[in-house]
Each structure stands twice: as structure tokens, then as C-alpha cells.
Chains A and B, each alone.
Chain A
Amino acid sequence: MKIAVLSNTNTDYMVRILSQQADTWKPEGFGNVMGALLNPNSSYHLYMPQLTFLFMDVMEVINHETAYEAAEEKIAGWFSDLESGIYENAVYYIADAFLTGEEGKVMADPMWESRMEMLWNEKLRQFAAEHKNVRVFPYAALIRRIGMENAFSEKQWYMGKMLLSMQAQKLLAEEILHRTEVEERTPKKVLLLDLDGTLWGGIAGEQEEERGEGIVEEQEEESEEGTAGGQDEERAGRFAGEQGEESADDTAKKQAERKTEGGQKNLPEIELSDDHTGLIYKNVQRMIKQMRKQGVLLAVVSKNNEADVLPIFKEHPHMILREEDFAAKKINWQQKHLNIMEIAEELNLGLSSFVFLDDNPTERELVKQMLPEVAVPDFPERAEELPEMMRQIYRTYFESAYLTKEDLEKTEQYIGLAKREAFRKETVSFSDYLKGLQIKITRVREKEHLERLHQLVNKTNQFNLTTKRYTEQEMADIIADEKMRVFAYRVSDRFGDYGITAIVIVNLREVPVIEEFAMSCRIMGKQIENAVLYAVEQELREAGYSVLKGIYIPTAKNKPVEKLYPSLGYLERERDADGKIWYTIDLKEIPAREFEAEMVDGR
């Protein structure tokens, strides 16, 4: 599965972790989210990711508009643009909002941040409801789990537009990999549940003696089975022994509890209540009920007398799960694997869609051995670990990428969902998008910016055709040299000024040759290189030159510009052993250059 991360903040570290574990697109720079999505020839689209994760810092999307109406308009605009940039055969996860920004610290309205987040989340919910292939990424929940002070780093933000700490980026990467797995796998369908010690604490069957006998019986059955050789028998027997001891210890405690608790008339005494351990079991039942509402089928597989347990389902005031919640019930003294096979037949489902949950290690071991296709998760020793176990079971086996219509129909909370709000449907083309950016490229006087140009040439790795490095003195010499021509540009758009971010150095000693062409990654993906190169070509043509040469020297980092010259009509002339390529173009026959930018001479 090929994945991509798009963000208007710096998530390079997350991408680096991800690329060690999955096929991951490596963006050139960050921030140009719509540029990557709307340009069909962007490196993002050429990579053809099947899964795209969008992490938008909402404060940047609303461009620091603190008024609701203005912010809402920005958010609507963003989703409208997104509509044009997504493909039906790919899947998109969009992060929900967790608003950060300095204004929030002085905001008089304490609800301001949550209201802003709601604007985004509501739009996102609608957008996801309208698109089968768009899902919500639980970003805010992950931030809350580790806490803001661990999740964000102001220093990293101001130094490198990196909003999230290493810890947070690692956590997000894990969640991305989890979602990737969820997208690929077939979820399980049925959760098989034991009763005593699993759905409630204690034992429903009244007599302790009976329970004792039950365990002896189990042991005998185990040895009769003679399943898979002596070693396994031994293990199964040991589990049964341990279980026997535990129950003997527990029964005394439970007897004492029963006396104090009082309990319901005619119902067996079990731990299921609104306090203490009883509440843990009740809450676990709430989790299971929620899973059922989302389409998980439930079945009971319990060694018990029906007469002892059915009244609990019908009358126990704290039971969350009721008889009608179960697709099948096997409450008898038959061995569990036989019951499970019967359920598989009744429901017409393969054993590989079953998960078996039982507190008794003997039963788990038996099912594992007899029915290896059935998933059998471990069961914790302590009651307080049950909710986390249930969460893991949900994530590991049942979580699906999206709920189907059938799943949804079962759920009240989705009824009447999302009156479809019409997103602006008109298509936005890449050039429309660029037009909207109001890009301005201003030629600056190179002498006045020696320091910046020196820095730009030496620090740029990705968009750098030759990766030549110069000392400041060499740079000064080049600028002073009449046989060298330096083209330096300041770039801005409606979101701000990017500073001096593009440079071309042409050597005019013989046939003009572009010795250096470098652009900051901040301005990549906006066809600015087309505009810059066009300006260079025009000027040289007007000066009477007829041919221009370009050079590409491959490095570990400048892959993004590998095809720049040929894509702009330059012809390959020569290629040496280490990959250095010479190109030429006829300046009288320059093909039309695509770009949307205003060119200004600021010298």
C-alpha cells in the first residue's frame, strides 16, 4: 500500500519514520498541499498513493482569521478546493481539528478555540459523509492522549514550522500504519463471549461444589481429547489446575461480598453493578454493546445451566447486554469448540471470522488447538485491565475502515445523519488554483543580496540542478563578472512573502550555460520554475543568443528536478558516467511555458 502525508506544517520526521516501514511518498518541502493535490503532474500524483493522510493546521487554513464568518468561509473554500483534487480510487484520511495559535492565548472568549475546531470538524464530517473514500483521522484524540505540553514544541515550530514533537510524530506514524493495516485487512465478524468471569465477575451457578465438579470434568475431558500430543495435554492440564486453585481462593472472598451486597431476589450473585469491580464489567458490556451497534455479531459460549443465566439476561438491573443482542447462544456443558462449530454453521460464517473471549485459560487453549482459525486473545489477570483489553480487541480484530450502510442502519445515532450540504461543485483546475494564489515574481538586484544568494545556493538541496557550492567571495566574484549573469528573484503570493527564493546563474563565456539553478522548497510545486526559466530564456534571446545549455548533476537529494529540463523541451546532448547530463534548447523555438505569475522587474 503506497501512502502519502500532506500537511501545511513540517512533518518530515513523521515521513521519515513512515518510509522505514511503508512505501511512502517523500514530499519536496511542505505546505503546498493544494498544489500537490490539484496539479495532475505533481510528484505526489505521479507517485500514485493509495492512501493519503492530510494534517492541516487549521489556524493556517483560516489564515489567522479570528472572526467566525471569515474563518468559515476559508474552511469552506479549502474543502471546495479539495473536492477537485481527490480521486475516487484512492482513500483520504483528513485530521480533525486541534487548534493552536498565539491569538488563542489572549482570546477573551473561552469558547473560541472549541468553536473554531467545530467549524472545521463539522465541515469535515459532512465531507466524509459525502465521500465513500474520505475518512476522519483522529488527530485531536491522539494529541489529548499525550497532552499538549508533550505534543507541541514552540521552538520547533518557530525554527522549522514543525508543529509536533518527535513523540507526537511517532504516535501519528503508528496510527497511520494502523489505519493502513485496517484498510487492507478483512475485519472479524463475530465476538464469542464466555459469561462467568468475562461478562460479569463471579459465577452464576449457585453451588460452589458444582463449580468444583465442573473443573474436574473439564480436566477429564481434556485428557480424553488427547488432542495434539503429550506436551499440549500437559499444558492444558496445568492451566486447569491453576484455574481450580484460583476459583477456590476466589469463592471465599465472593461469599463474603455477597453477604454485604444483599443482591437481587432470585438472581444469582454476580459482580455487576455501578461500583467498584462490578462497574468495570458493566462498562465492558457497554463497550461490547457499542461494537454490536457498529455491526459486530455477538454470541454466547458458556458452560452453565441456562436456567441459572437466562434470568440474569432478562432481569439483572445492571446487565447492558440482553438476549436480543446475541445472534447465537450456546449455554450448555458441551465442549466449547463443538459449540463454536455449531455457531459457525448456524450463522453460515467461516471460523476465521470469529474471535473467542474467555477468562479461563483452559478453554482458550482448547479452542486454540482445536480451531486454529479462531482468534483467541489473551485475557488479563486484573479486572481493571479489561477495558483496555476490549479496546485492543476492537482495534486488532473488528475496527473497519468505514461503516457500511448496513452497519449504519443498525445504529440510531446515525439516523438522520448529515443533511448533505452542497459543497461548491465547480471544478477548480490547477491553473485556476495558481491564479488564485496571485503569485508575484520580482527580479531583484543581485549585488544587494549577496549574503542571501550565497545562502540560497549553498543550502538548497532538492531544487538544485547542479548543487554547486560557492564561498561568499566566489559569489561576489560571479556577481561582479561581466561574463556571468545572475538572475535572482523574490517570490510572494497572497499568503505572504517567501523572500529571495530563486536563483539562476548563467555563464556567458561561450555558448550560454546555466551553471546553477536553485529554488527554495518553500516555493516548489507552483510552476514558478517555468516562469523563472522563461524570463532567463527571453532575456538571453533578446540579447542575441540562439542556444542555451542546461546541466543536471544527480545527487542523493535533487531527484525532484531530475526531469526538469526535458519536461520543458530541452534536448539531451551528452551524458557522462556519473549521470551528469548536458541539455540544450533553441532559444528561437521555446515552447509555450505554463505558469500563472506576475513577473516584475524590481531592479
Chain B
Amino acid sequence: MSEKIIKIIEEVLQVPTGTVTMDTKAEDLEAWDSLAQVLIIGEMETRLGISIPIDEAADITSVEELVRRAESM
């Protein structure tokens, strides 16, 4: 699961494979802005069927948290 999520994030941010790791946080990468956040949450739902509640969606801004949320579902 974590590989799939990281792949989506790298695709959204348009960064080379390997740039995003489990330790990456939104603040580490300039490309991870609010637009990217919308795309990441949206694509996780469209492609992986992981629906993060909208009230939390803007605040889950690290790879680790995203993966944790995904795995708890």
C-alpha cells in the first residue's frame, strides 16, 4: 500500500521516483502545496479506493500519516 501511495504522490508532485519516502512531509517539498494535497487525496480515492474523510483531508500532510490512515481502513 505504501508504495502505491508514494507513487501517486510522486506523480502528483512530478518528482523523480525515490524523492518521496515514508519520512517525507508536505513542508519538505515545495511542490506539495494545497493543489497537490487535493490531487493526492482525490487520486487515493479514485485509484485506490481509500476515502479519507474530507474534514481531515487537508491536515494529513505527511506520507507516514497518509499510509497509516489508509492501512487503518
A interface residue numbers (CB < 8 A to B): 10, 12-13, 150, 153, 155-156, 158-160, 162, 165-167, 459
Contacts and interface: CB of A to CB of B under 8 A. Distances in A.
Given A155-B45, A166-B11, 20 more contacts: A13-B39, A150-B46, A153-B42, A153-B43, A153-B46, A155-B41, A155-B42, A155-B57, A156-B41, A160-B35, A160-B38, A162-B38, A162-B39, A165-B43, A165-B46, A166-B42, A166-B43, A166-B46, A167-B46, A459-B34
Contacts, number: 47
24 contacts: A10-B38, A13-B35, A13-B39, A153-B46, A155-B42, A155-B45, A155-B54, A155-B57, A156-B38, A156-B39, A156-B41, A159-B38, A159-B41, A159-B54, A159-B58, A160-B34, A162-B35, A162-B42, A165-B42, A165-B43, A166-B12, A166-B42, A166-B43, A166-B46
A451 to B, nearest CB: 15
B61 to A, nearest CB: 13
Interface residues of B, number: 17
B2 interface: no
Interface string B11-36: 11000000000000000000000110
Given A150-B46, A155-B45, A166 B39 contact: yes
A315 to B, nearest CB: 54
Nearest to B38: A160
* Most A Cβ at <10 Å: residue of B12, B42, B57: B42
Nearest to A160: B38
B51 interface: yes
B35 A155 contact: no
* Most B Cβ at <10 Å: residue of A160, A167, A459: A160
B54 A153 contact: no
* Most B Cβ at <10 Å: residue of A165, A166, A459: A166
Contacts of A150: 46
A75 B51 CA distance: 35
A459 B33 CA distance: 10
A150 B34 CA distance: 22
In the A-B complex, the 4 residue pairs with the closest CB atoms: A156-B42, A160-B38, A153-B42, A159-B38
Contacts of B39: 13, 156, 162, 166
Contacts of B43: 153, 165-166
Contacts of B11: 166
A12 B42 CA distance: 14
A430 B19 CA distance: 46
A107 to B, nearest CB: 24
Contacts of B35: 10, 12-13, 160, 162
